[in-house]
Amino acid sequence: MHIPDGFLDTKTALATAALSAVSLAAGLRSLEQTLPRRKIPLMGLVAAFVFAAQMVNFPVAGGTSGHLMGGVLTAVLLGPSAGMVVLAAVLIVQCFLFADGGVLALGANILNMGIAGTVGGYAVYRGMARVLRGERGRYVAMALGAWCSSVFASVLCAGELAWSGTVSWDAAFPAMANIHMLIGIGEAVITVLATAFIAASRPDLLARGRSEDAGNELGRRVTFGAVIVIALVLFVSPFASDWPDGLESVAAALGFDRVAVVPPPVPSPMAGYAIPGIGSPAAATVVAGAVGAIVIFAVGFILARIVVPARQSPSGEDATDGTER
């Protein structure tokens, strides 16, 4: 999913760079205030860990294999700001040392994987963990968050490609989203199993990671939330016909709707924009997304039953109390 140079036009590159610079600055400032000095080497080592963990192959089918992205795993272990900075560092090194992902596309890649993927997926995890409760519920939420991180990143990526006129939304969105709904299942399984492994052998690492990202909550949340909403308004809402009206009116108020009516340089039917309905590939993909979310819940419940032994009751409040603090 690393976008190379030459895929994004200048306006998209600049917009994504600005958005990711703002949230990276917010995340770094929050860390500088809250991160103890002794944790600074840990950030670098965890970045190297993400890099190495991405090289561990998981057999999928027919000789193909997948690997971890690691955004939600890092955010669960270190907190969202640290997760975002770690993913950004990994992307910067991959860009400059491997030429994996372009320099001008670096902002877009950090926005997709480091911010929408990591912070967005982590937000889903936290929200769901609050609803589902219990040790098992936490793992179900983690599976959903990890799956969402993969899907969020791919949808933004499709939006950026479409906004640049490289590939039309109707081609990019189904292709990217459908593939990453499958990849996301792998991401969810690895995230849950790896976290369960760490919880079993060093539970203190999990508990510590969760307690140390409390500072500067509101300001950071507002910044991250605003960045993700702006990214959605810019890159996704111009194309999605069945998007809620609220965002469209925001887009209209800010003048972004003009972007949507300018026909892309690539001639395309834009069926999903004119006629909402199951007939368009984009709408079919949204339906597939709903099905995928149900599947990932089932996967999450099965995994949670495997990794949390039965003696801790599924709604065991005391188990939650032990780990949430």
104 near another protein, judged by CB under 8 A: yes
Task: Write down the least CB distance from residue 253 to another protein, Å.
Answer: 30
Residues from 237 through 266 that contact another protein (CB under 8 A): 265-266
The rounded distance, in Å, linking the Cα atoms of 271 and 280 is: 6
Q: Which residue has the tokens 């081609």?
A: 171
* Axis-axis angle for helices 169-201, 134-163 (nearest 10): 150
Check binding of 5 to another protein (CB under 8 A): yes
Total binding residues toward another protein, as defined by CB under 8 A? 78
Place of tokens 């989203």: 177
Residue 54: which of 24, 86, 17, 80 has the closest Cα? 86
Alpha-carbon distance 323 to 313, whole Å? Answer: 15
Q: Interacting stretch for another protein, rule CB under 8 A, among 28-36, 135-143, 273-281, 309-317?
A: 28-36
For the CB of residue 138, give the shortest distance to another protein in the complex, in Å.
16
What is the nearest approach in angstroms of another protein to the Cβ of residue 96? 6
Asked if 304 interacts with another protein (CB under 8 A), we say no
Among the listed residues 193, 207, 247, 271, the single contact to another protein using CB under 8 A: 193
What is d(CA 299, CA 68) in angstroms, rounded to the nearest whole number?
A: 17
As given in the structure block, the two tokens for residue 144 are 């959903």
Q: Which helix (H) or strand (E) holds 261?
A: helix 257-261
Compute the chain's Rg from CA coordinates: 20
Among 182, 202, 254, 323, binds another protein (CB under 8 A): 202
- Looking at residues 71 to 90 of the shown chain, list those that interact with another protein (rule: CB under 8 A): 73, 77, 85-86, 88-90
- Min. distance of Cβ 319 from another protein in angstroms? 19
